[in-house]
Chains A and B, each alone.
Chain A
Amino acid sequence: MGLNDLSIEKLRDLLKKKEISVMDIVRDIEAGIAQDDKHELPLNAYINFDINRIKKEAGDLIGNSGKIENTLLKGVPIAIKDLINVIHTPTTCGSNILKNYVSPYDATAITLLKKNGGVPSGKLNMDEFAMGSSNENSYFGAVRNPHDRSKIPGGSSGGPASAVAGNLAVAALGTDTGGSIRQPASMCGVFGIKPTYGRVSRYGLVAYASSFDQIGPITKTVMDGALLLEAVSGYDPKDSTSANVETPVFSDYVGKSIGDLTIGIPDEYFGEGLDDEVRTIVEQGISTLKEAGTGVKRIKLSYTKYAIATYYIIATAEASSNLARFDGIRYGTRYVKTEDLETLYKENRSIGFGDEVKRRILLGTFTLSSGYYDAYYLKAQKARTLIREDFTQAFDEVDIIVTPVSPIPAWDLGQMVDDPLQMYLSDIYTVPVNLAGLPAASVNCGKTSGGLPVGLQLIANHFNESDIFRTASVVEGKVG
């Protein structure tokens, strides 16, 4: 067993006692990756793991601050989804169009991570531009689920979830636009939390759908999630949508009593389409919370069935504009030698983007286009209001809403690639949270008979992540 198998919490302790060095951990991770690469079916969790670059980051951290032992993370290496800019490091977004792009700046979350003693260590695989629920849409190949390598790890943060679950990373930063942290965390049996929109700066996070995107941790334990979220949270004047609020000491809430909380169970999340085994496991999770003393209320989230349509209209509209800048003019790769501007644009983008990205760009371009804006985009923005208000009302009555994360456990690689609509529909339990900008986590709640993990989704009101950490640690304590 290597240091890569340990949690942030444990490694922090060893680092503090000087029993190990930062590079000891990095070397164990490197060895783990190398060993996995030899596997018949490698996890393929990393797009880039440059030991020299990591060494330099670690050196800077130890050299510059001189007080790494006083930082929160004390030098623990953190792997980064390849959608987040790390200076002098490739930031490919899982796309051919940026495969040679090396970022000239750090995202604010990375700046904060470093300030708090985290060492950015490798860039993780993902669905191209975070578009997907299975991590099969990466230019760098599909990622596999460590619990069953014939299965998907979930997406779009499949790399982070697979790496953390497979001990190829201590912990990771992922991103969540419509469930991209929670769904893979659920499918890989790790902890993942999407914070309140505005809690973590989006500056330097390559935008997919700006009004939904959030950075958040994917970790082995709830405590690690709390520590890592603490490290990257905080107001950022460079992000106009960043919230100017205090960051609680999240780790203080891990293991605390939940006797004062009332949990809400929305009927709409337990209806048709929910896999029986998943239902059973989630219900066990709810029982655990009841046993820990929470009140339980059945609640209504009546507009849930409109969430998928609402989300995919707004997200693809934003994406169609956000991805328009990738044209090979100022950065990236020019795939054709041409004297014609239009040819340059079209060839670069057609060669550079994969099918799912093209599909979403086209969808978003269509719903924004003249004559369709009112029928799609505006309607979706209004429906978004209703979905948001649904939650506002629910949180008048309850503290935490408890639901499944995904209606089904990890499916076979390739199973849904030809049916994008079916894949979109699998996001039904995660997208409403993003529409409302709420914090939500997935904590492992058990395994199916086939050995596939199933997560429990815990949704809180804006900026109430602390209650999520309390609740999640109870589930974790029971499931182990």
Chain B
Amino acid sequence: MGIDKKTIKGIANLASLKLTPDEEKLMEDQLGRILDYMDILGELNLTDVPPTSHTLGFTNVTRKDKEGKCFDVSVVAELAPEWQDDHVVVPRVV
């Protein structure tokens, strides 16, 4: 099963990526071929096979409800590309 341009546009949007028309074309070709290859899994009978998310099968890994050390605000400020009054600045959202 391949992939069409409309779908490429849709997933690029979901992934917050901007593609040029050339890139769209290239991705359509390359992802189409890769997805065609992925169809190989169709050969398998997977009806009663459980999915694997973790190889080691651990469960219930938790920590105690204790407060620990936080960053100094200056560290957060240092990281942020735009910063004002102890806040990270972003384009207006509403």
Q: Scoring B residues 1 to 30 as 1 if CB is less than 8 Å from chain A, else 0, what string do you get?
A: 101000110111011111100010001001
Which residues 32-58 of B have a CB within 8 angstroms of A? 33-35, 37-38, 40-41, 43-44, 46, 49-56, 58
B56-A243 in contact (CB<8A): yes
Give me the interface of A with B, judged by CB distance under 8 Å.
101, 104, 197-198, 211, 237, 240-241, 243, 303, 305-306, 308-310, 312-313, 320, 324, 327-334, 338-347, 349-350, 353, 358-359, 361-363, 365-367, 369, 375-376, 378-386, 388, 420-421, 424, 435-437, 462
A365-B46 in contact (CB<8A): no
B79-A104 in contact (CB<8A): yes
Nearest Cβ on chain B to A361's Cβ, whole angstroms: 5
B15-A382 in contact (CB<8A): no
Nearest Cβ on chain B to A370's Cβ, whole angstroms: 10
* SS class, residues of chain A in contact with chain B: helix
What A residues does B40 contact at CB under 8 A? 305-306, 309
Tell me the complex Cα distance, A345–B11, Å: 14
Tell me the complex Cα distance, A177–B57, Å: 19
B88-A380 in contact (CB<8A): no
Q: Which residue of B lies closest to A242 (CB)?
A: B61
Nearest Cβ on chain B to A431's Cβ, whole angstroms: 13
Q: Which residue of B lies closest to A420 (CB)?
A: B30
Tell me the complex Cα distance, A266–B88, Å: 55
The one of A241, A346, A359, A388 that contacts B58, using a Cβ cutoff of 8 Å: A241
Check B93 for interface membership: any CB of A closer than 8 A: yes
Which residues 50-78 of B have a CB within 8 angstroms of A? 50-56, 58, 61, 63, 71, 75-76, 78
B41-A309 in contact (CB<8A): yes
Give me the interface of B with A, judged by CB distance under 8 Å.
1, 3, 7-8, 10-12, 14-19, 23, 27, 30-31, 33-35, 37-38, 40-41, 43-44, 46, 49-56, 58, 61, 63, 71, 75-76, 78-82, 88, 90-93
A338-B91 in contact (CB<8A): yes
B49-A366 in contact (CB<8A): no
B80-A306 in contact (CB<8A): no
What B residues does A338 contact at CB under 8 A? 91
Tell me the complex Cα distance, A333–B81, Å: 6
B38-A330 in contact (CB<8A): no
Q: Which residue of A lies closest to B7 (CB)?
A: A366
What A residues does B38 contact at CB under 8 A? 309, 312-313, 367, 376
Query: Would you mind naming 30 contact pairs between A and B with Cβ atoms under 8 Å apart?
Result: A104-B79, A197-B55, A197-B56, A211-B54, A243-B56, A309-B37, A309-B38, A312-B34, A320-B15, A328-B81, A330-B79, A333-B81, A341-B93, A344-B91, A346-B18, A350-B18, A353-B17, A359-B31, A361-B15, A362-B11, A362-B17, A365-B15, A369-B11, A381-B52, A382-B51, A383-B44, A386-B44, A420-B34, A437-B56, A462-B55
The one of B37, B53, B90 that contacts A329, using a Cβ cutoff of 8 Å: B90
Tell me the complex Cα distance, A333–B80, Å: 9
Decide: A340 near B80, CB < 8 A? Known: A305-B40, A312-B38, A388-B52.
no
The one of A101, A346, A435 that contacts B17, using a Cβ cutoff of 8 Å: A346
